[in-house]
Structure 1
Amino acid sequence: MRRFGNAVTAVAATALALAASGAGARTPDPRARPPAGVELAALAQPPAYTPFASQRIYFVMPDRYANGDVANDRGGRAGSRTQTGYDPADSGWYHGGDLKGLTGSCVDTRTGLARIKDLGFTAIWIAPVVVQRSVQGDSAAYHGYWGLDFTNVDPHLGSNEDFAAFADCAHSLGLEIYLDVVVNHTADVILLAGGGGFRSADDVPYRDCRGRAFSAQRYAGGKRFPCVSPRHQPREPVVLSNKGAKRPTWLNQVTRYHNRGDIDFSSCSPSCLEQGDFFGLDDLFTEQPLVVDGLAQVYGDWIRRYKVDGFRVDTAKHVDRAFFRAWTPKIRAAARAAGVRDFEIFGEVFETDAVALSSFVRDRAVPNVIDFPLQDALVRYAGGSAGAKGISSRLADDDYFRGPNGVAPTPATFLGNHDVGRAALKIKEQGGGEGGELLKRDLLGHSLLYLLRGAPVVYYGDEVGIIGRGGDKAARQDLFRTAVPEWRTEERVGSAPVGSGSSFDAASHPVANHLRSLAALRSAHPALATGASFIRHAQQGVLVVSRIDGDARREYIAAFNAGEEQARVSVQTATPSSSWAPLVGVAPPAGGASGRLTLVVPPLGAILLRANAELPRRGAARAALRAEADEFTDLTRLTATTTTPDPVSVTFAARRAKSRQWQRLASDDGAPYTAFLDPRRYLRGERVHVVGVVRASDGSVSTSPVIAIRVRR
């Protein structure tokens, strides 16, 4: 596994050591009884996959999709673009797309939501729609991340009634709605006297109304907070324009912001990342319970009014550590009260190291994340600059994301987006070639996206071959007829430049057709979304993964080849003496009694097979546990080794030596079976028992010997 950027450093000392032995040795405790009866049955359940795992998501910026009402192009304002924000010939300004255009007729599959449904998607992630500060600096807020009034729809996009019609149409088509929300900041209204450089708490602590210094982190996530005054701020906040323009009205109080200055991304401390202004935007003081409650109320209203099905949370990396633990239950309560089941929350944590990313789920209670580490591995592999090990390492790192709730990690996965650049560009940047080769590599990338675990997200326009020339503004092309000169002539993959035409004319684009086929596969074979994953081969340009359908007791094989020559590999499966049905590609010869299977994978292509035989009923499997210090965190790694090739699941449980109750640590349904124990949850010197509960594919259950460990930290 690769470690770079903000990589988690290895701990020098063992956080937990096994009692009466060296770290890593097994020490069964014959006096400790494993779980039994009802407790055993509860622990023996395999990991649960949330409904989000089965979603296929289309991410769209409404300003760039379709213009359904030219009357709102200028947002109800008159004057130049600096007053209206509208300039369809400049990539950094509003172009006229709106909610009516995005919704369409709800019937015509050539445009609107019906088109998105026809492409095989089950959900739509829509960029923020709230009222914006239309212009800041030399650009407009077409993207939606400069919120001013969080209670209403921006007039450039339409009206609240237009959003209601959009929501009604989406739900009638069976599309879930994931609304992009911002909890970290608002538009830039507050100026900071003395310049914008960040002032740390070490230099200038917060002070209450009586001038006494205090730590904001001490109160984060709680119900109380010191009185704060505009007179005692790290930098003096000044509001010269847009006074009183923010909604709800509490957002106009300057004390509801950190007021410390801008984040310096080249040399920023953790507190700077959380309390600094993100590119000058007013950073909300999320340690304050009033701010948490206010954000829960205003976004809860969007659930109550429109029955949206989930939130994508922008800049989740930059709120305080306790925020999600306090905010999420309030949002989920609002969803339940509105009758919205399985409300999904996935956060944007721009972090390409999987272990570092997992800390936001494990320590900060971010419910789910966007998988930036996998995106990096996928485009490198599909582009030909890296082998399959990067992908297999990332999938193995899923164990860091598993926890006591027993839910399998199912992050939002993607190849490109509005920030980093489009899928075809990211693949091309990795040596993905031109023309026909780039198209094959682009299709390969999307095959990986749909056939590996996670909820695939496709960025609007990727389905018609838009490549783009970079991230941000250079990756936000119009689908309707564009007035941006360079976009008319930009190279596309699988088709010619759009010229004066519309991207909606490319209904049968090879990427779009490929996405339809992949969507049909995931719909017909649920294991591709919710099946356990086993890496069978990950060498050079070939990746082979088994997906297990636990209900039907069937194994699937997905094999990928990023090389330019046909690849022939032999892999171990869990299904001996079986023939295999080809879902993509050609059927291989039947596997042998040992379960070995020889695959031939085409160059720059993929195959997908389904076993014609059920998994054999091998019965209960024995397991042995091992505990050792984790190399990359201050956690203790627990590994279970089984004696069977059967695709089992293992639940790791712990209990204090003086307790009778076992507590789930995590459940793992993919080898190597791994969980982590956090020493911070125990007293120094405390004796802890750990056990592995093994569930075979036929439902039989066994337990490992209980091992005893003693906390050393």
Structure 2
Amino acid sequence: MILKAWRKGFATLLSAALLSQQGLFISEACAQTVSGQQAGAQSGSNVGAAGAAVVPTVQLGNIAVNPAMPLAGTNALPTLTNVQPAAPQVINSPKAAAVLAPSAIPAAQVSKPAALKATPLSAPKAAPKSSEKTFVPPVGPSGAVANAPDAENPFSGASPDLSQGQQTAERFKLKTPEQAAQAFDSNESDEPDIGWDQVPPVPSEAPDSIKDPKASLDIAPGAKFTASPKNWASEIIYSVILDRFGRSKDHQTWGDQKLPTTRHGGNIRGLIDRLDYLQGMGVTTLLINPLYMSPPAAYHNYWPIHFMAVDPNLGTMADFQELVKKAHGRGMRIVLDVVFNHTGPILEYEGGWKWSQNPKEIKRWRYPVGPVELRSKEHYHRRGSIDNWNDPDQMRNGDFPGGLNQLATERKETQDVLLHISKWWMKQTDVDGFRLDTYPHVAPDFWNRFFQETRDYAKKLGKDNFLVMGEIYNGDPRALAPEVGNGRLDAAYNYPAHFWDNDALHGRAPTSVLEASLNGIRAVMGHALNRLVRFLDNHDKPRFLGQHDPIGIARVALAYTLFSIGIPYVYYGTEQAFRQFSKNDYGMDAYREDMFPEGKFRNPATQGDDFNAQNPMYKHLAALAEVRKTHPALSLGEQYVRWSDPNGPGLYAFSRIHDGEEVLVVMNTAGEARSAQMWVDGKLTPGGAELVDALGSGYAAKAAAQEGGGSKVGVQIPGHGVLVLVRKK
């Protein structure tokens, strides 16, 4: 009885994951937890609410770091991969923060960086030499595919990182909604009812097979496609979840609209209706969640049951083609999220879902997956759900919890089908790039083919800089370095900076942390630093603004995101100052509120018209975007830190230099006014040069020549203020 009760309780947690989240990594979180005592956590300040153990603070050079946040209701795995600065402290050492020790990630992924040469954090900056000729390579094609795996071991390339248990536990918090328990109790199968009886018919427009004439990859004579941007570093990405963003009059819903796990009716046409709003804030690229036909409970559409059908809940292929065409007509780009690691929960196994050393027989197909080629059992590992994330065999062959069946992406036959599907979406939709979901969990041999074949096909469509952007959820830059550039990923999420910078941007840590972050990641990534996507939050991370945070920190953080080196990314709702729910009963769904005014799943703190173009944050983002567009140095230039504070929140200043222009960005993370005298480039900003604020505040300053060479600029800035100083013309 005890064993039965335990099994039911554990399965209920998995059911909750299926209902409330993407459900990809929750067993990893369970399997890699250790006790608070094992993790080294003591009672007192290092233990969060409800006994949540916190990974012990680790010293990196002179910066103390800890995991991104305590893990409510579970214990933390001691790891160094998910790091960010600790609470504010006085830093007396003049040494800059060191790069993470090589032992932080598996040896196969470590590429030893050059010695870190950083400006001392607690000493005045030296007069900089002119950097006028510094060249930053564009974000685009970068040569031949590297890191090909061994023929006998298709997983010998970028193997999945097994040290992410603590990060994953934080990412997928364990919640048990009542509906999950009820769903489990009411079904004989191992998985909850997620609305199979309400799955609509496959649209007639969708190919049933990759051999169907409708799935042809032949390009018709005279067919027109949109050329790629020259440099993705000049773009500003805006990410939406269609079900939660805009809703047209002909929308479709499923379930209680007040619950976070149901379909709320947002659709493609609702996004089309808001293109004026989007263009008005200055964003240039729309990142859209997958369109695959999925079960009703998969409002996010990351659980494909037909890879070549647009989910009828979102609209039609014609709707999406119209969206792309109208966006292109405005000079905007579309990047589509794609999934190659898994399907939705389509298989039920003989003997249940538990892990097995040998492939299981299929008891039944819950849904006839499409295209028809994927209805062969050989395309799936069929080993059951992962229950030990330290076991490489399970990591490579197991299903993700919640019944997300893992595709055998190491098999050539499976690769052939998936690659055909990806090219078909490119031809059919004219999109400008792909976001690759769960990148580390797909066989590297598949990615090697994908990079080469996708880019070759894109060139046939006239797209010579088709964006390939990967999700690598890891706080160590050396997990990213082998995969970014060199013919592999064009871009990847900058999770190292996200974890490292968060406290400093909230005013809870010294701004010298931002300098250490820049220097540490640059030491590993080199010029590929400008390929990293810089973000404050996303659909997997909590909203940057907490319930009681001052709005000023968001103004500063947005400027930091748009003006720092890398590709800026804005998550929907940021421009309306969306705040995180005060209670965390909703897991990751709490980060995915309804944007449309009639939505019922909304934070009380952000009620009202969420498409308000008069909102101060909307106007602020629009102003930042316009300045970034006007001054290419803010997107294309190298970055040099001019000031950072080692003693707490306050000033952080840096120059971006490109094509003979220096732009000085000064921001204040403190709530009180600050002033400083800081070095600038003596050649580009010589003594006597007049500087004005490009944001239009009316602020002006004059560079002063210094004895011995070089120039300095004196600045005064209010609490949570931002200045963008450029030479007066």
TM-score bracket for the superposition, by shorter chain length: 0.5 to 0.7
Q: Structure 1: how far apart are the matches of 2:249 and 2:323? A: 14
Matched, 1:420 2:541: yes
**Alignment map for 1:264-663 (pairs within 5 Å):** 264=387, 267-269=389-391, 272-279=394-401, 280-361=403-484, 365-399=488-522, 402=525, 409-425=530-546, 433-434=548-549, 438-469=550-581, 470=584, 472-484=588-600, 487=602, 490-492=604-606, 497-498=607-608, 502-504=609-611, 506-539=612-645, 540-541=648-649, 542-549=651-658, 551=659, 553-575=660-682, 576-577=686-687, 578-584=689-695, 585=697, 586-593=699-706, 594-611=710-727
Matched with 2:16 is none
Structure 1: gaps (5+ residues): 16-22, 25-42, 75-84, 105-111, 135-139, 205-233, 614-713
Q: Structure 1: how far apart are the matches of 2:605 and 2:637? A: 38
Q: Is the 8 A contact 1:382 1:444 kept in 2?
A: yes
Q: Is the 8 A contact 1:362 1:401 kept in 2?
A: no
Which shifted more, 442-451 or 251-260? 251-260
Q: Structure 1: how far apart are the matches of 2:407 and 2:462? A: 30
Secondary structure in structure 2 of the residue aligned to 1:282: coil
For residues 93-147 of structure 1, the C-alpha deviation after alignment (integer angstroms, 9 at most, x for no partner) is 111111111112xxxxxxx11211111111100111111122xxxxx11111011
Q: Structure 1: how far apart are the matches of 2:137 and 2:270? A: 41
Matched with 1:18 is none
C-alpha displacement at 1:509, in angstroms?
Answer: 0.8
Q: Is the 8 A contact 1:361 1:367 kept in 2?
A: yes
Matched, 1:126 2:242: no
C-alpha displacement at 1:238, in angstroms?
Answer: 1.8
Q: Is the 8 A contact 2:239 2:286 kept in 1?
A: yes
Q: Structure 2: how far apart are the matches of 1:91 and 1:46? A: 43
The 3 A distance-change label for structure 1 pair 273 and 409 is farther
The 3 A distance-change label for structure 1 pair 271 and 515 is farther
RMSD: 2.8
**Rg (Cα) greater in structure:** 1
Matched, 1:47 2:130: no
Matched, 1:103 2:272: yes
Q: Is the 8 A contact 1:536 1:571 kept in 2?
A: yes
Q: Structure 2: how far apart are the matches of 1:66 and 1:510? A: 21
Q: Structure 1: how far apart are the matches of 2:66 and 2:599? A: 43
C-alpha displacement at 1:531, in angstroms?
Answer: 0.6
C-alpha displacement at 1:564, in angstroms?
Answer: 2.2
Q: Which amino acid aligns with 1:546?
A: S
2:310 to 131, 137, 153: 153
The 3 A distance-change label for structure 1 pair 408 and 459 is closer
C-alpha displacement at 1:175, in angstroms?
Answer: 1.0
Q: Structure 1: how far apart are the matches of 2:260 and 2:360? A: 35
Q: How many residues align?
A: 505
Which shifted more, 568-577 or 441-450? 568-577
The 3 A distance-change label for structure 1 pair 444 and 260 is same
More strand by share: 1
Which shifted more, 363-372 or 121-130? 363-372
C-alpha displacement at 1:483, in angstroms?
Answer: 4.8
Q: Structure 2: how far apart are the matches of 1:181 and 1:611? A: 44
Secondary structure in structure 2 of the residue aligned to 1:481: coil
Matched with 1:116 is 278
Matched, 1:143 2:250: no
Matched, 1:60 2:240: yes
Q: Structure 1: how far apart are the matches of 2:443 and 2:517? A: 26
Matched with 1:648 is none
Secondary structure in structure 2 of the residue aligned to 1:151: strand
Q: Which amino acid aligns with 2:360?
A: E
Q: Is the 8 A contact 2:350 2:363 kept in 1?
A: no
Q: Is the 8 A contact 1:258 1:275 kept in 2?
A: yes
Q: Is the 8 A contact 2:496 2:521 kept in 1?
A: no
Structure 2: gaps (5+ residues): 1-59, 68-78, 82-99, 108-113, 116-132, 141-230
Q: Which amino acid aligns with 2:312?
A: P
Matched with 1:184 is 341
C-alpha displacement at 1:450, in angstroms?
Answer: 0.8
Matched, 1:251 2:408: no
**Alignment map for 1:195-234 (pairs within 5 Å):** 195-198=352-355, 204=357, 234=358
Q: Is the 8 A contact 1:103 1:113 kept in 2?
A: yes
Which shifted more, 121-130 or 465-474? 465-474
Q: Structure 1: how far apart are the matches of 2:309 and 2:329? A: 23
The 3 A distance-change label for structure 1 pair 458 and 237 is farther
Q: Structure 1: how far apart are the matches of 2:596 and 2:457? A: 36
The 3 A distance-change label for structure 1 pair 510 and 45 is closer
The 3 A distance-change label for structure 1 pair 68 and 561 is same
C-alpha displacement at 1:86, in angstroms?
Answer: 4.2
C-alpha displacement at 1:66, in angstroms?
Answer: 2.0
For residues 345-395 of structure 1, the C-alpha deviation after alignment (integer angstroms, 9 at most, x for no partner) is 111111122233334437993332111122223432221222223322332
Matched with 2:128 is none
Q: Is the 8 A contact 1:583 1:608 kept in 2?
A: yes
The 3 A distance-change label for structure 1 pair 142 and 375 is same
Q: Which amino acid aligns with 1:421?
A: P
Q: Is the 8 A contact 1:186 1:284 kept in 2?
A: yes
Q: Is the 8 A contact 2:360 2:383 kept in 1?
A: no
Secondary structure in structure 2 of the residue aligned to 1:262: coil
Q: Is the 8 A contact 1:321 1:364 kept in 2?
A: no
Q: Is the 8 A contact 1:198 1:264 kept in 2?
A: yes
Matched, 1:174 2:331: yes
Secondary structure in structure 1 of the residue aligned to 2:493: coil
